[in-house]
Structure 1
Amino acid sequence: MKIKRYFASDMRQAMKLVKDDLGDDAAILSQRSVTGGVEVSASLDANLPRSDAFGPSGHRATLDNALAEARKKVSVAERGGAATQSSDQFGASDVASEAAVKRTLESIQSARSTAAPSRPSGNARGQQQTLESMRDELNDMKALLQQQLGGVAWGQFVDRTPQQAMFWRRLSGMGLSSTLCNQLIKIIEPQASAAHNWRRILAALARQLSTTQKNLVMEGGIFAFIGPTGSGKTTTIGKLATQYVLEHGPEQVALVTTDCYRVGASEQVKALGRILNVTVRVVDDPRRLQETVDSLSGKSLVLIDTAGLNHQDPNLQLQLSVLHEVRPMVRSLLVLACTSQQQVIRAAYHTYGKARLVGTVLTKLDEASSLGEAISLVAEHGLPVSYLADGQRIPEDVCLAKAHNLISRAVAISEQLPEDDEKMINEFAVSQRRDFQPAARYVS
């Protein structure tokens, strides 16, 4: 038996050298990491199981070796990163860790692609199961590497800038997006106290929030309340309509509902109209909305309750286009429930953001476990907040939106929740992998 050794910078080059020299029947005897790359021992001997040299079993051995090498590289990256100090937030040690992970994943992918052409043609089902098993293992290894890299990056961030890390943790605990967290921690003064910098951060966040600063509904007009099902559109209309009736009387108020899809939706508006003694119109065809609005031209306030429809429902686009075409102009208020997940809130804005929005209504503040998701959305898109609703009482539980009150409430809610370090570190790692956005300019 003749054994040869091959040296290369990575597994891909080593496997290529073996195949070019000994052919597809070569058997891999051993593989280990050395200075500058890897060392592979191979042989071409009739007594060795040649058919498995680059087949499934040989592939499995190569994969196991690559995984061992990956773990070793991550360990080295962690030790090297802990000893490296830099004034840059994303220093050279982070780059080295990223490069190590990238080379390791390339080696694993190379092992899989090299083994693929020489697999036996028989037993296709067994081969497919083997491939799926290795694919799952590769995905698990990738997730593990990313998690470990995120932990290393967070540890370096804490070591270099402990005050920024503390504020990043607190802002993330409020539910704010990583983009907003990265922007806000840029404004701290290194020599100032933590209390002073925290006040600066909250003040900057409050300035990021836009509010309408006036009671739009009390000034009269035609308003459509749009948003997902269950966001609180009908209840909000009841609160605002009651406030207007108490101040101006019922004669100048009309309620209109286009929600003929949800069971009992129109009956709820009719019951509210009877209680307030105001005019109520039910529009079962959105195309008749213009006709209905024309019949209410003598009213100083018209509130339209719309249906919450799936973004793929063609009736939704029809409803939005009709609202846009109605004259005189219909001003829309987007109603968002603070109890919704971040993906739901952002999907709602994506669906209804094309309407003629003059503001938003944030509802269910009393039930929310975090306000940061809604705050991040309106801050990042410059969407003004008009009203805050925090209960079921009519008309008490609705008020004009004030930025500092909303921020104070978000902080108070976050302080009552336990910290989730794993989620926070994962979000920090994701924010590092994205292109880092320049900090926004704030007025001190």
Structure 2
Amino acid sequence: MKVKKFTAATSRDALRKVREALGPDAVILSNRPVDGVVEILALDNDDVASLAAPVSDSEAAQPAPQLHVEEPAAAFVPGFGAAAGPVPARRQKDLAQASVATPAAAPTAAAPVQTYAERRAPAAEPSVDMSAMTSMMSAAIAQAKESAAVEMNGMMNELRAMRGLMETQLAELSWNATAQRQPHKAAVLRELLGAGFSATLAKYLVEKMPATEDAAQAMRWIKTVLARNLNTIGNDDDLLSNGGVFALVGPTGVGKTTTTAKLAARCVMRHGPDKLALITTDAYRIGGHEQLRIYGKILGVMVHSVKDEADLRIALKELRNKHTVLIDTIGMSQRDHMVAEQVAMLSSSGADVKRLLCLNSTATGETLNEVVRAYQGSGLHGAIMTKMDEATSIGGVLDVVVRQKLNLHYISNGQRVPEDLHLADRAMLVDRAFRNRAGAAAALGDADLPSMMAGAAARANPSFA
């Protein structure tokens, strides 16, 4: 370890010499003015690091090294050499002894001082894995977003629950006030709900009802409005005389095959067996196509069986000269994903296939709404009410027909072919809906009406003519 001394006229020049010789990391030990010049003692940064290193026991036992101050030639200042003043006597004696004891040697060139730029560059520090840091930050951000989304979703659910509770309470209060001011509206509403109509349709009708205090007159207005908004065909000519390709669709067990046989019998009686063709796609149900074949054999009509869209396209192409073609489709639940495939097969068969939806009169309104939404597809040509003889109340199916704006063609009220198939009569159907429903209406108490009205969805209100 060597401590180097640098002298210069000013501190700036002395520091520049230190920087050139030892670099910017040099350690300044002392800085003082001496005889009109500035003297700086400096130490290399590497030597300081060696001093800071731990010392072993063997090295600690050795005597401390003596510091040798080396004065470089570049630090010589003229006027301060040997001739600058007299040499002390003791110094002269030491010089004389050194000259006697040491033979004259050839002058050697002083080793050049190594500058900072000539030294070896320090070892590079280990680099940071930026990809790992990026992935960690991305994971943290994603986790934060997920937590925020979960909290936001929970908060929105609570707000929706609070809103629904407030709307329910306000609707109950509003209906209680209305029932007290206009008791005949409560009576009409009780009749509608007892007949099986939905709370949504009943609420809309009661709100649009003209001002009157006579319950009987109000019920006549209600029946008139319901009959006017039931879309029906006038006679068989609208369906059978015009002809075409008709496919009966609907859930399992709704009566599609029997209804197909009834329509086929009507066509045969009107146009003869040569003008009619029957197609069945029911290859899954055991004996499904055999039932239709028996009906076809009785009527003298050939029954064709198809399995997929290609077979249906070929069959319709061969039967294009027929006046009427009736297709009996596979019955499946409205929640089955194959319903969409069946609708697509009929729509892309290459012919104008008109779909007639069979609605079970014994089903609830919620179930029928779900059936209509599942089989709607690009649009239904019409609907047929089946099992009317088994239904206690037909208000639910009429409610769906009115709110979904379906064109009601026929009603079926038995198994006889073709007797138990009739054209839909508006007035008869509305009268049948309210007939013998006084007991069901009386079962609804005044305390039940506000809660039922509060659950009616205002956005589902139908528009009436």
Q: Does 1:374 align with 2:397?
A: yes
**Structure 1 pair 346/378, CA: closer, same or farther in 2 (3 Å)?**
same
C-alpha separation in 1, matches of 2:449 and 2:386? 26
Please say if residues 369 and 413 of structure 1, whose CA atoms lie closer than 8 Å, have aligned partners that are also in contact: no
SS in 2 for 1:392: coil
2:230 equivalent among 209, 231, 238: 209
Residue aligning to 1:316 = 339
Q: Which runs of 5+ in 2 are unaligned?
A: 1-160
1:164 equivalent among 165, 170, 185: 185
Q: Does 1:331 align with 2:331?
A: no
Residue aligning to 2:240 = 218
Residue aligning to 1:183 = 204
Please say if residues 250 and 371 of structure 2, whose CA atoms lie closer than 8 Å, have aligned partners that are also in contact: yes
Residue aligning to 2:158 = none
Please say if residues 200 and 457 of structure 2, whose CA atoms lie closer than 8 Å, have aligned partners that are also in contact: no
Please say if residues 173 and 414 of structure 1, whose CA atoms lie closer than 8 Å, have aligned partners that are also in contact: yes
**Deviation of the 1:239 alpha carbon:** 0.9
C-alpha separation in 2, matches of 1:174 and 1:382? 20
Total equivalences in the alignment: 301
Please say if residues 168 and 455 of structure 2, whose CA atoms lie closer than 8 Å, have aligned partners that are also in contact: no
Which one has the bigger helix percentage? 1
**Deviation of the 1:428 alpha carbon:** 4.3
**Structure 1 pair 172/270, CA: closer, same or farther in 2 (3 Å)?**
same
1:396 equivalent among 411, 419, 426: 419
**Structure 1 pair 386/282, CA: closer, same or farther in 2 (3 Å)?**
same
Residue aligning to 1:193 = 214
Residue aligning to 1:431 = 453
Please say if residues 268 and 299 of structure 2, whose CA atoms lie closer than 8 Å, have aligned partners that are also in contact: yes
C-alpha separation in 2, matches of 1:170 and 1:232? 30
Residue aligning to 1:45 = none
Residue aligning to 1:239 = 262
**Structure 1 pair 324/256, CA: closer, same or farther in 2 (3 Å)?**
same
Residue aligning to 1:30 = none
Alignment of 1:266-305 (within 5 A): 266-305=289-328
Return the letter of the residue paired with 1:429.
S
Please say if residues 363 and 389 of structure 1, whose CA atoms lie closer than 8 Å, have aligned partners that are also in contact: yes
Deviations 1:291-312 (A, max 9, x none): 1111112211110000112345
Deviations 1:64-93 (A, max 9, x none): xxxxxxxxxxxxxxxxxxxxxxxxxxxxxx
Return the index of the structure with the highest Cα Rg. 2
- Greater shift after overlay, 232-241 or 429-438? 429-438
C-alpha separation in 2, matches of 1:416 and 1:332? 38
Alignment of 1:395-414 (within 5 A): 395-414=418-437
Alignment of 1:79-228 (within 5 A): 155-191=176-212, 193-215=214-236, 216-219=238-241, 220-228=243-251
Return the letter of the residue paired with 1:158.
A
C-alpha separation in 1, matches of 2:461 and 2:379? 30
- Greater shift after overlay, 187-196 or 241-250? 187-196
- Greater shift after overlay, 176-185 or 424-433? 424-433
**Structure 1 pair 272/194, CA: closer, same or farther in 2 (3 Å)?**
same
Deviations 1:188-224 (A, max 9, x none): 3334532222111110111122123343431211100
**Deviation of the 1:414 alpha carbon:** 2.4
SS in 2 for 1:251: helix
Residue aligning to 2:364 = 341
Return the letter of the residue paired with 2:218.
N
Aligned-residue Cα RMSD (Å) equals 3.0
Alignment of 1:256-275 (within 5 A): 256-275=279-298
Please say if residues 150 and 426 of structure 1, whose CA atoms lie closer than 8 Å, have aligned partners that are also in contact: no
C-alpha separation in 1, matches of 2:221 and 2:212? 13
C-alpha separation in 1, matches of 2:357 and 2:211? 40
**Structure 1 pair 267/208, CA: closer, same or farther in 2 (3 Å)?**
same
- TM-score for the superposition, normalised by structure 2: 0.59
C-alpha separation in 2, matches of 1:352 and 1:438? 19
